[in-house]
Amino acid sequence: MQSLTDKIDDIFIQALYEIAQRELRIAKKNTPVGDYPDGSGKVGGTLRRGWAITDITKTEDGYLIKVKNDVDYASYVEFGHRTRDHAKWVDGYFMMTIAESKVKAKIDEIVERHIQEAFKNL
C-alpha cells in the first residue's frame, strides 16, 4: 500500500505532467511552419517538431519538468531578431510565452481537479 506522501506526490506529478502537456500543445499550435517553394529541397515544420517535454525530476524544492525546443533558432522566432543586415526587426511569435501565460491561469484548476479525483478514489 502506498504511503500518504507517495499518493500526494503522485497527484502532483500527474497534475504537473498535464500542465506541461497543455503548454506543449499550445506552443506547437502557435509555432510557425516555413513555407518553401517546390523544388527548393527544404521542408517546413522543423521548429514545430522540435518541441518536447523532459522527464519529471525531483528537486529539493519539489518537482521539475520542462517544455523545451532545442532547435538552434527557436529563441529568435520566439522573441524576434534583427535581419542579417541589421536594417530591420523581425517580430517574435512568442509561442512559449503565450502558452505559459494561458496555462498559468489554469494551474490552480488543474491541480484542484487532480486532488478531487484522488479523493474520489480513496
pTM check: above 0.85: yes
pLDDT of residue 3: 77
DSSP states of 84-106 as a string? Answer: TTSS-EEEP--HHHHHHHHHHTT
pLDDT of residue 98: 98
Rounded to whole angstroms, the Cα distance separating 48 from 74 reads 9
pLDDT of residue 79: 98
Asked if 113 and 102 touch (Cβ cutoff 8 Å), the reply is no
Beta bridge partners of 82: 89
pLDDT mean over 18-37: 96
Backbone torsion region of residue 99, taken as left when φ is above 0, otherwise alpha when ψ lies between -120 and 50, otherwise beta? alpha
pLDDT of residue 119: 84
* pLDDT, tens only, 49-63: 999 999 999 999 999
pLDDT mean over 83-88: 96
pLDDT mean over 104-122: 92
Rounded to whole angstroms, the Cα distance separating 103 from 85 reads 37
DSSP conformational letter for 55: P
